A and B are shown apart, each in its own frame.
Chain A
Amino acid sequence: MGNYFSSMFDRLWGTNKELRILILGLDGAGKTTILYRLQIGEVVTTKPTIGFNVETLTYKNLKLNVWDLGGQTSIRPYWRCYYADTAAVIFVVDSTDKDRMATAAKELHMMLSEEELQDSALLVFANKQDQPGALSASEVSKELNLVDLKDRSWSIVASSAIKGEGITEGLDWLIDVIKEEQL
């Protein structure tokens, strides 16, 4: 009986619906580490991702399908194969890698210009804040030209996947936006 009610509530609040979230970004930004931080709450040792990792996790009564796609140059062209029905994109930036900030900006804007992602929310993690010489969130935001983005809910959060800082804050914001806009 209890199950029955809970599933009725689920339907009412739309929790039964699975949401697709993509984690993108250049290679070595920390995407896989963030994914497993979210899922098991621990730091795992990772290898460069050839292809993708996918995990299902429940967060605030929402079932999330989180896709972590590899960031190597050879794999980036395949990102677009996974754009369909995406509720939100989490874009991870290595805040210490100033040289490739321009590349990251280019990839980000190219991705956002895709038709299939017009309605998706964007969360940017300025990652690796634990490292010395990391740019601050506002500096990263400037480098990525985030202010230029129109008609889209977006936010940038300073984070450290190793220490677990900023990750939940960012995700909280994202879930609120999704609930508000898409459910």
Chain B
Amino acid sequence: MSTKTYKKSENQIAGELSDKMTIYQDCMNTFNELPVNAKRCRILISRLLRLLANGETFPESEATALFFSVSKLFQHQDDSLRQMVYLAIKELSSISDDVLMATSSIMKDIQNGSNLVKPNAIRSLTYVLDESTAFSAERLLKSAVVNKHPAVSSAALCTSYHLLPISETTIKRFSNEAQEAIVDLKQFPHSSMDNSEFYPNSTFISQYHALGLVYQLKKNDKMSLLKLVRQFAEANTLKNQLAKVQLVKLVNDLIHRDPQLFTQFQSLLDNWLTNKYESVQLETAKLITSFSINNSHLVSQELYISAINTLRSLLTVPRVTTRFAALRVLNRISINNPEKIMVCNPELESLINDSNRNISTYAITTLLKTGNAKNISSLVSTITKFIHEVSDDFKIIIIDAVRTLSLNFPQEWKSIVKFLIDVLKNGEGGLKFKNSIIEAIIDIVSFIPQSKELVLDNLCDFIEDCEYNEILVRVLHLLGKEGPFTSKPSLYVRHIYNRVVLENSIIRSAAVISLSKFALTKNDPTLKDSIVSLLRRIANDQDDEVRDRATIALELINASENKHSLVAEQLIQSKYYYDLNSLENKLTNYMSANDDSFKTPFDVSSIRKFTEDEVKAMKLKKKQQQAVGNNVENTKDAVVPGTKQTDNRIDNDTYQGANLQEHQEDLLETKYADELLSIEQFKEFGNLINSSKPIPLTEPEAEFVVHAVKHLFKDHVVFQFNVSNTLTNVVLDKVTVACSSEGDNQLEELFTLPIDRLLPNTEAACYVAYKKDEAFAMEGFINILHFTTRELDPETNEPFENDEGFDDEYEIDPIYLTAGDYVKSSFTGNFENTFAELPSEDVAVYNIKEDLSLQEITDKLILNTSCLPVSNTQFAPNDTNSHTLKLFGKSVFNGSKVALVVKMIKSSKGIALKAQGRGEDATLCADLVNNLM
């Protein structure tokens, strides 16, 4: 019976409250009785502990009363009762502050108690001692650490470990004793009865505890940690499995502090890979593979291969946890270097049928990542067999992996689409699962144009028999959006009209809109006529909504015939997407303004618009960043040694918040733009064309933190400097930024808007405006922050009146206006064709001397050009010395296309780049190609 059901049946018999109160009363009565009834007390304490373990708690006054009555049990010498008393003290210590009253009695037990209660007594010291009383236990703890009995020694070591943050000075004096405890192989006192069936042989667990304590004591001293590793790695003194794992983690910690140390550990690690303990093998393999993500040049090829082989052999062991752990490590590798674990594919494939669902799903997703152009189709057929046997949650994970695969290998779309359509039509599954398939299909259709017709044909089949309204509506929308541009639109029209005849009103409404799109976009008179007659028939529908939509659609079709109204076309077939954040913001302002403003209609033209390709580019970029972000998280997780649990937790927290943060960044951008446009002086510059992301110009911990944003107008450039004052008690008056050009003056400075007063812990923006003559002016600026500091009167929060203040300046990083600022990311389905079609061409060659990896160069190029990396070229493989990056973007002014192919080769001398650019606008193309770095 599980604990849950146990608890439930208990609750039914007696209400929760009375249960708790009865136990409380029983405890109070029995514990205070004289003479003490040891057995009864033990039973009562165990009930009390169960109550606390179930999450019940007592108010402080009752907890205190309980503690004091429990403390009275110290008068009884029964060992078993004493052990229970210690457990009760441990639990009550979190609610009651008075546990220090047990200190003397505990210390007496540590000194004179039996070996049975000693460990419990020692462990309870953690809860009763504080900074001021810790020293009084020093002598006792010290002798307990070197006690011959392993249980006593372990207890003392653990207690010291936990007391370290409470009283560092006391515990620091145990260093020698702890070190001694590592080498001392403590046997249980009854070791004379070896092989007795009642007593286990010693596990030497105290070695693990001692090593943990020694590490904590020496963790800031690299040299003595090194010594520690050497001492225990060579001689076979560590018998305990966990202690050995701990030693591996210690090495991990050391090489992350100083990667150069790795070389001297290579042979040691190689040895550990064949250790008799699976956990040691696993930890070592994990260390090697995660270290090599960022330091691949330091890890020898042979070592890496044997690490992979170790993991591979661990995949076939009988123990489930080991298999799972090894798989997890492999999965982590597969994110960055799928090619390196290809050797494990046979084992991974056999794990697909593992009885443990966690393992099988992990195996599948790992396999999907190792997929390459050659084996995708065989992989997909393996999953096809597998997917029908798992639950919906796992199916969704698999579909997501397939979706990423389809974006990475667009050329393999056929088998993927076949798979998706197959599970969509034949697979059992709930709405969420089917929806994730449709999401994947929509992605494929929008990013891989070649797949369009096949997908749409199959979707038409699918909607003939689909039980979910939501999915039907999405498919109808997709058909309406993509269908008119295919070779045989009439086929889709027939399928859509079938829905009108057969389905409910929600789907009928969606179908009407879809049909009207065919009529509006396709200039085929016969098609249009038949759609009009269909719509006329629908206009008699019994549902209001359907009738309304049909009527409107007919009106719009009529209007477009007369060529009067483009509005109609735009309404149904929107080519533009508004920037939703800024739209929402503007609308809120409009609604909350006074009644007068309603006299003028809402002006939608001031809101930024994106074309479809731009939206796609943004979406794709976000997806790519998410993949990379996950990567970084994973490696970070691997870097942190297991001993620092709190750090790990913080990492996780920030990770979960990432999406929110992203959203806030978007909002911030809109906010900056709105602030800028509300300033009178900038109104004459016209519409804001593009804004960069905030660029930090100072260290984040500087006294004044400055971020810059570059705003582009048609003939003007505005630099926005966001200055925040982190000082307390000092205000900054008349804050300006003096920008002096580094080279030829292509820009003419117009004016500067200073910050009048910057209070402590606030942020404000000052602006510098330039007029530019050339369309694509590029220039670097050296920036100096000028301001007058005045001290604040802490009482009034105003500057002292007689304080004149003094002028000061503060140098911040330079800012560059580059070609990338004139480009924004855009999407193209077929890069090669687009590239070939563009008229003007430019070529440039670069030599980079810095020691950068290809991935770092790639990231930098993407950032500098603000183009979208296409065809999955944003990941540079780290096992070869060359890479080709394909970038695509558009001019921010007129939307003229520009495409780049950057070939890079890494050699011992550095990295050579050859950039080939093509574009509709020759100047932009040349500027971009010549200013990559």
* Chain A contact residues, CB within 8 Å of chain B: 17-18, 20, 47, 49-54, 56, 63, 65, 67, 70, 75, 78, 81-82, 84-85
Residues of B within 8 A of A20 (CB): 34
Contact with B136, one of A50, A53, A84, A85 (Cβ below 8 angstroms): A50
CB closest chain-B residue, reference A48: B136
User: Complex Cα distance A81/B187, Å?
Assistant: 43
Interface residue B57 (Cβ < 8 Å from any Cβ of A): no
User: Complex Cα distance A78/B103, Å?
Assistant: 13
Residues of A within 8 A of B74 (CB): 52, 54
User: Complex Cα distance A1/B781, Å?
Assistant: 109
Q: Which of B63-110 contact A (CB under 8 A)?
A: 68, 71-72, 74-75, 77, 98, 100-105, 108
Residues of A within 8 A of B98 (CB): 78
7 A-B pairs within 8 Å (CB atoms) are namely A51-B101, A51-B103, A52-B105, A54-B75, A56-B77, A82-B68, A85-B34
Contact with A50, one of B32, B75, B103 (Cβ below 8 angstroms): B103
Q: Is the CB of A50 within 8 A of B104?
A: yes
User: Complex Cα distance A101/B77, Å?
Assistant: 37
Contact with A51, one of B34, B75, B104 (Cβ below 8 angstroms): B104
Which of B75, B101, B104, B108 has the most C-beta atoms of chain A within 10 angstroms of its own C-beta? B104
Q: Is the CB of B35 within 8 A of A52?
A: no
User: Complex Cα distance A11/B588, Å?
Assistant: 89
Q: Is the CB of A51 within 8 A of B105?
A: yes
Q: Is the CB of B133 within 8 A of A50?
A: yes
Q: Which of B560-615 contact A (CB under 8 A)?
A: none
Q: Is the CB of A47 within 8 A of B100?
A: no
Residues of A within 8 A of B105 (CB): 51-54
- Minimum CB–CB distance from B110 to chain A (whole Å) comes to 13
User: Complex Cα distance A82/B101, Å?
Assistant: 11
Residues of A within 8 A of B32 (CB): 84-85
Which of B68, B75, B108 has the most C-beta atoms of chain A within 10 angstroms of its own C-beta? B75
- Minimum CB–CB distance from B67 to chain A (whole Å) comes to 9
User: Complex Cα distance A81/B98, Å?
Assistant: 11
User: Complex Cα distance A75/B108, Å?
Assistant: 18
- Minimum CB–CB distance from B776 to chain A (whole Å) comes to 77
CB closest chain-A residue, reference B102: A51
Residues of A within 8 A of B136 (CB): 47, 50
Contact with B68, one of A47, A50, A81 (Cβ below 8 angstroms): A81
The 5 closest A-B pairs by CB, nearest first: A50-B103, A51-B104, A81-B68, A51-B101, A54-B75
- Minimum CB–CB distance from A60 to chain B (whole Å) comes to 18
Q: Is the CB of A53 within 8 A of B75?
A: no
Residues of B within 8 A of A70 (CB): 104
**Per-residue contact bits, chain B 36-68, to A (CB 8 Å; 1 contact, 0 not):** 000000000000000000000000000000001
CB closest chain-A residue, reference B36: A18
Known contacts A51-B104, A53-B105; is-contact A82 B72 (Cβ 8 Å): yes
User: Complex Cα distance A73/B791, Å?
Assistant: 47
CB closest chain-B residue, reference A81: B68
Q: Is the CB of B104 within 8 A of A53?
A: yes
CB closest chain-B residue, reference A85: B34
Q: Is the CB of A18 within 8 A of B34?
A: yes
Q: Is the CB of B68 within 8 A of A52?
A: no
User: Complex Cα distance A56/B77, Å?
Assistant: 9
CB closest chain-A residue, reference B65: A81
CB closest chain-B residue, reference A74: B100
Residues of B within 8 A of A52 (CB): 71, 74, 101, 104-105
Known contacts A56-B75, A65-B34; is-contact A51 B100 (Cβ 8 Å): yes
User: Complex Cα distance A73/B25, Å?
Assistant: 31
User: Complex Cα distance A53/B676, Å?
Assistant: 75
Other CB < 8 Å A-B pairs besides A20-B34, A56-B75, 8 of them?
A47-B136, A51-B100, A51-B102, A51-B104, A52-B71, A54-B75, A82-B68, A82-B72
Residues of B within 8 A of A54 (CB): 74-75, 105
CB closest chain-A residue, reference B99: A51
Q: Is the CB of A53 within 8 A of B108?
A: yes
Residues of B within 8 A of A67 (CB): 75
Residues of A within 8 A of B34 (CB): 17-18, 20, 65, 85
Contact with B100, one of A50, A53, A56 (Cβ below 8 angstroms): A50
User: Complex Cα distance A47/B110, Å?
Assistant: 15
Residues of A within 8 A of B108 (CB): 53
- Minimum CB–CB distance from B33 to chain A (whole Å) comes to 9
Q: Is the CB of A49 within 8 A of B104?
A: yes
Q: Is the CB of A75 within 8 A of B75?
A: no
- Minimum CB–CB distance from B367 to chain A (whole Å) comes to 62
Residues of A within 8 A of B100 (CB): 50-51
Q: Which of B286-334 contact A (CB under 8 A)?
A: none
Q: Is the CB of B68 within 8 A of A18?
A: no
- Minimum CB–CB distance from B88 to chain A (whole Å) comes to 15
User: Complex Cα distance A49/B72, Å?
Assistant: 16
Q: Which of B884-899 contact A (CB under 8 A)?
A: none
User: Complex Cα distance A111/B136, Å?
Assistant: 29
Residues of A within 8 A of B103 (CB): 50-51
Residues of B within 8 A of A63 (CB): 35
Residues of B within 8 A of A65 (CB): 34, 75
Q: Is the CB of A75 within 8 A of B35?
A: no
Residues of B within 8 A of A84 (CB): 32
Residues of A within 8 A of B133 (CB): 50
- Minimum CB–CB distance from B707 to chain A (whole Å) comes to 53
Which of A51, A67, A75 has the most C-beta atoms of chain B within 10 angstroms of its own C-beta? A51
User: Complex Cα distance A164/B462, Å?
Assistant: 101
Q: Which of B115-165 contact A (CB under 8 A)?
A: 133, 136
User: Complex Cα distance A51/B35, Å?
Assistant: 22
CB closest chain-A residue, reference B68: A81
User: Complex Cα distance A65/B32, Å?
Assistant: 13
Residues of A within 8 A of B68 (CB): 78, 81-82
Residues of B within 8 A of A85 (CB): 32, 34
CB closest chain-B residue, reference A65: B75
- Minimum CB–CB distance from B756 to chain A (whole Å) comes to 56
- Minimum CB–CB distance from A54 to chain B (whole Å) comes to 5
- Minimum CB–CB distance from A7 to chain B (whole Å) comes to 14
Residues of B within 8 A of A17 (CB): 34
CB closest chain-A residue, reference B103: A50
User: Complex Cα distance A53/B74, Å?
Assistant: 9
CB closest chain-A residue, reference B137: A50
- Minimum CB–CB distance from B857 to chain A (whole Å) comes to 65
- Minimum CB–CB distance from A49 to chain B (whole Å) comes to 5
User: Complex Cα distance A17/B33, Å?
Assistant: 11
Residues of B within 8 A of A82 (CB): 68, 72
- Minimum CB–CB distance from A160 to chain B (whole Å) comes to 24
Q: Is the CB of A78 within 8 A of B101?
A: yes
- Minimum CB–CB distance from A12 to chain B (whole Å) comes to 18
CB closest chain-A residue, reference B98: A78
User: Complex Cα distance A93/B108, Å?
Assistant: 25
- Minimum CB–CB distance from A140 to chain B (whole Å) comes to 27
CB closest chain-B residue, reference A68: B104
User: Complex Cα distance A65/B73, Å?
Assistant: 11
- Minimum CB–CB distance from B252 to chain A (whole Å) comes to 41
Q: Is the CB of A18 within 8 A of B104?
A: no
CB closest chain-B residue, reference A84: B32
User: Complex Cα distance A49/B98, Å?
Assistant: 15
CB closest chain-A residue, reference B33: A85
User: Complex Cα distance A101/B111, Å?
Assistant: 34
User: Complex Cα distance A85/B98, Å?
Assistant: 21
User: Complex Cα distance A56/B32, Å?
Assistant: 15
CB closest chain-B residue, reference A77: B98
User: Complex Cα distance A85/B100, Å?
Assistant: 23
Which of A17, A18, A81, A85 has the most C-beta atoms of chain B within 10 angstroms of its own C-beta? A81
User: Complex Cα distance A50/B98, Å?
Assistant: 11
- Minimum CB–CB distance from B875 to chain A (whole Å) comes to 62
Residues of B within 8 A of A56 (CB): 75, 77
- Minimum CB–CB distance from B47 to chain A (whole Å) comes to 23
Residues of A within 8 A of B75 (CB): 54, 56, 65, 67
User: Complex Cα distance A99/B661, Å?
Assistant: 66
User: Complex Cα distance A91/B77, Å?
Assistant: 26
CB closest chain-A residue, reference B64: A81
Residues of A within 8 A of B72 (CB): 82
